[in-house]
Amino acid sequence: MSRRFDPAYPYEEYSRLTGDQRRWSGTGDRVTFRPLTRGWRAGAGRALVLAAIACELVFLLWLLHPSHLPQADGSWLHWVSLASVASIGVIELLRLLNVTTLALATVNAREVEPVRPAGDLRVAFITTIVPSKEPLDLARRTLVAALEVRHEGLYDVWLLDEGNDPAVRAMCAELGVRHFSREGVERWNQPSGTYKAKTKHGNYNAWLDAEGDGYDVWVSVDTDHVPLPNFAERLVGFFADPDVAFVVGPQVYGNYDNFVTRGAESQQYLFHSVLQRAANRFGAAMFVGTNNAVRISALRAIGGLQDSITEDAATSLAWHADRNPATGAPWRSVYTADVLAVGEGPTSWGDYFTQQQRWAQGTDEVLLRSFPRLARRLPLRRLVHYGLLMSYYPSAAISWVLGMFNIVAYLLTGAGGVVVATQMWLMLYVNAAALQVGIYFWNRHHNVSPHEEEGSSGISGMFMSVLAAPLYVNALVRAVTGRRGGFTITPKGSRSSVDGLHTFRMHLGWAALLTASLAVSQVLGHDHPMMRFWAYLALLVCVLPPVLSAAARRQRPRQPRTVALPEVPAPRHRLDRGALVGATSTARTTTTTTTAQENRS
């Protein structure tokens, strides 16, 4: 393994998690999958998920039994109590939805059978840079690694430069990397749509228009993701199946040295280790922009990457609602659990909040706008899978708001919700919650992260999901009110943001509401122990991020950061890439945009 990767982690082993590759016999072969669990473990998993769904359903029905409703007395407090009951019902319905999502994913999870690639595919390796926001050394690190990626056929490395920066062009010429920029080309810089200015999808679509005809497949990573040498070998073999539109792998963070980054990666465990594997059952993985392989003809068939701040989710839906014009079959996708690129995660709370805000709002916008339009074209199983998958962010936001409504309504008015025996409520609630968490832990042995130790609980990921709830509320409000979010790059390397009070304004706003409500309740004598417990717990969630941030600053002064990987060696050009290293590369670097524009004028 190259010394550019931290030897403390088994990246090489994790890059082959799906097993040894096989060579397909010829035409007509299809991508195949195998169950993630077999034998007694599979049976035990099914029993666990059935028990979890049953317990949650029993708890919900018991909680909303007519005998547990507040007695009508004609007062306005009664209507507040009924509103609290309704909100409790919605919260538990959403929890049942989340349990069902996790249960179905556990049962449906499939591992792909890896395939050795043919040598006749023309492959372009693509990454991007926004010079004003992303450090040049971060892109250099990725490009040097990309030049070492193995592929038997034609293989070119491209950097898509949003600024057409002289320093970027010089670096590309030095390394022997092809340079592309849409800077100054009006039709590639539109206010919206396929070529929307200052967006990732617009940048990629411009390259697709200018250079896509020269390739069959692109393999791509974000600027901060360093590919392993077998990146192409483990991804492009699946395109021997003519209906495979794209292949994606998991996202891991190499700068695994602080609480925020560790929590952010752990939070993604369920998505990359369970939900994406379940998507293999339906040929409907979620497209992930951080590292992927794309059949260029398939992308052209749907009009390119879709216009969204989460273009990957929107493009996934467009693909899976469409058909391969050559075969008439629905487009399929593949998720491989092989860890083939190591990225840089958010290192500050502000960077993490920026990331979560964009992901949540983008998903909400797709769910509200694209999903209803495309739903009728999705096969039933894909429809259910995507519906459950995209329900996470809005359900977390709605649950937070309704939970806060219940707490504040009681503290200010004394109006309760359901009238139940505390001991019975506690027993049923704990049983349902324990089984839900049990499914989470049950799937931990499928974890694809090379950073988390075997047997680790993943508690930090669950913790981060709870702390991010106020961000999800803001994202949902913006999506519902039509306040479209712009594409925001998560700051990387030495340009990571510095946390301040403004970073936590949403959390502190909710904390102020809870603090004032608790103070009023003390005066009014609204002191039910359980309701006050939930209030203090919610207050703790709101104040923990700024407290943890302040504690981290006191422990260690902030230092400028780059991706936590050792220095890379000088680029070593392979003989079969001679055409990229000489005068042709230098000329192409400086004339790509002009030539592409002239060819289409």
Residues 6+ apart with CB under 8 A from 68: 62, 418, 419, 420
Phi, psi dihedrals of residue 217, rounded to the nearest 5°: -140, 145
Q: What is the pLDDT of residue 278?
A: 96
Say how far apart CA 159 and CA 176 lie, in whole Å.
11
The verdict on 527 and 483 lying in the same domain is yes
Q: Which residue shows structure tokens 């249960």?
A: 103
Q: Is residue 262 part of a domain?
A: no
The verdict on 65 and 132 lying in the same domain is no
Phi, psi dihedrals of residue 347, rounded to the nearest 5°: -110, -10
Torsion angle, alpha carbons of 173, 293, 120, 2, to 10:
60
- Between residues 418 and 105, the one the model is more confident about: 105
The verdict on 397 and 544 lying in the same domain is yes
Say how far apart CA 334 and CA 288 lie, in whole Å.
11
User: Are 496 and 351 a contacting pair, CB within 8 Å?
Assistant: yes
Per DSSP, which regions of 143-301 are E strands? 155-161, 178-180, 217-221, 226-227, 244-248, 291-295
Is pLDDT at 586 greater than 50 in this prediction?
A: no
The verdict on 549 and 479 lying in the same domain is yes
CATH number at residue 151: 3.40.1260
Q: How large is the average pLDDT for residues 491-513?
A: 84
Q: What is the pLDDT of residue 275?
A: 96
| Model pTM above 0.95 | no
Nearest to 143 by CA among 504, 580, 592: 580
Q: Is residue 144 part of a domain?
A: yes
The verdict on 454 and 516 lying in the same domain is yes
For residue 533, the enclosing domain spans 36-109+391-555
User: In this predicted model, what pLDDT tens digit does every residue of 454-485 receive, in sequence order?
Assistant: 778 889 999 999 999 999 999 999 999 987 65
Q: Is residue 446 part of a domain?
A: yes
Phi, psi dihedrals of residue 354, rounded to the nearest 5°: -60, -45
The verdict on 448 and 490 lying in the same domain is yes
User: Are 311 and 302 a contacting pair, CB within 8 Å?
Assistant: no
Q: Is residue 209 part of a domain?
A: yes
User: Are 227 and 221 a contacting pair, CB within 8 Å?
Assistant: yes
Instruction: Using only the alpha carbons of the chain, give its radius of gyration.
Output: 26
Q: How many domains does the chain have?
A: 2
Q: What is the pLDDT of residue 492?
A: 58
Which of 128-142, 205-219, 518-532, 564-578 bottoms out in mean pLDDT, i.e. has the lowest?
A: 564-578
Q: Is residue 487 part of a domain?
A: yes
The dihedral through the CA atoms of 69, 72, 78, 79 has a sign that is positive
Structure tokens belonging to residue 304: 């390119």
The verdict on 400 and 542 lying in the same domain is yes
- Between residues 204 and 573, the one the model is more confident about: 204
User: In this predicted model, what pLDDT tens digit does every residue of 545-569 receive, in sequence order?
Assistant: 999 999 888 776 544 444 444 344 4
Nearest to 571 by CA among 252, 139, 217, 167: 139
Q: What is the pLDDT of residue 594?
A: 35
Q: What is the pLDDT of residue 209?
A: 97
- The rounded mean pLDDT for the chain is 87
The verdict on 544 and 594 lying in the same domain is no
Name the band, by pLDDT with cuts 50, 70 and 90, for residue 215: very high
Residues 6+ apart with CB under 8 A from 181: 160, 161, 162, 163, 164, 592, 593
The verdict on 397 and 511 lying in the same domain is yes
Residues 6+ apart with CB under 8 A from 152: 117, 118, 119
User: Are 151 and 123 a contacting pair, CB within 8 Å?
Assistant: yes
Q: What is the pLDDT of residue 99?
A: 94
User: In this predicted model, what pLDDT tens digit does every residue of 111-140 receive, in sequence order?
Assistant: 999 999 887 899 999 999 999 888 999 999
Q: How large is the average pLDDT for residues 30-55?
A: 92
User: In this predicted model, what pLDDT tens digit does every residue of 402-459 receive, in sequence order?
Assistant: 999 999 999 999 988 777 888 888 888 899 999 999 999 999 989 999 998 877 888 9
Say how far apart CA 155 and CA 178 lie, in whole Å.
11
Is pLDDT at 249 greater than 60 in this prediction?
A: yes
Q: What is the pLDDT of residue 207?
A: 98
Q: Is residue 2 part of a domain?
A: no
The verdict on 528 and 595 lying in the same domain is no
Is pLDDT at 197 greater than 70 in this prediction?
A: yes
Give the count of beta carbons closer than 10 Å to the beta carbon of residue 412: 15
User: In this predicted model, what pLDDT tens digit does every residue of 73-103 receive, in sequence order?
Assistant: 778 888 898 899 999 999 999 999 999 999 9
The verdict on 104 and 129 lying in the same domain is no
Torsion angle, alpha carbons of 183, 186, 190, 193, to 10:
-100
Q: How large is the average pLDDT for residues 353-381?
A: 92
Q: Is residue 327 part of a domain?
A: no
User: Are 229 and 150 a contacting pair, CB within 8 Å?
Assistant: yes
Name the burial class of residue 78, with classes exposed (0-12), middle (13-18) and buried (19+) by CB atoms within 10 angstroms of its CB.
middle
Q: Is residue 539 part of a domain?
A: yes
Q: Which residue shows structure tokens 């504690």?
A: 551
The verdict on 435 and 461 lying in the same domain is yes
Q: What is the pLDDT of residue 73?
A: 73
Q: What is the pLDDT of residue 574?
A: 34
Residues of the chain with pLDDT > 90, as a percent, come to 71
Name the band, by pLDDT with cuts 50, 70 and 90, for residue 20: very high
Is pLDDT at 56 greater than 50 in this prediction?
A: yes
Q: What is the pLDDT of residue 409?
A: 94
H/E stretch holding 128 reads strand 123-129
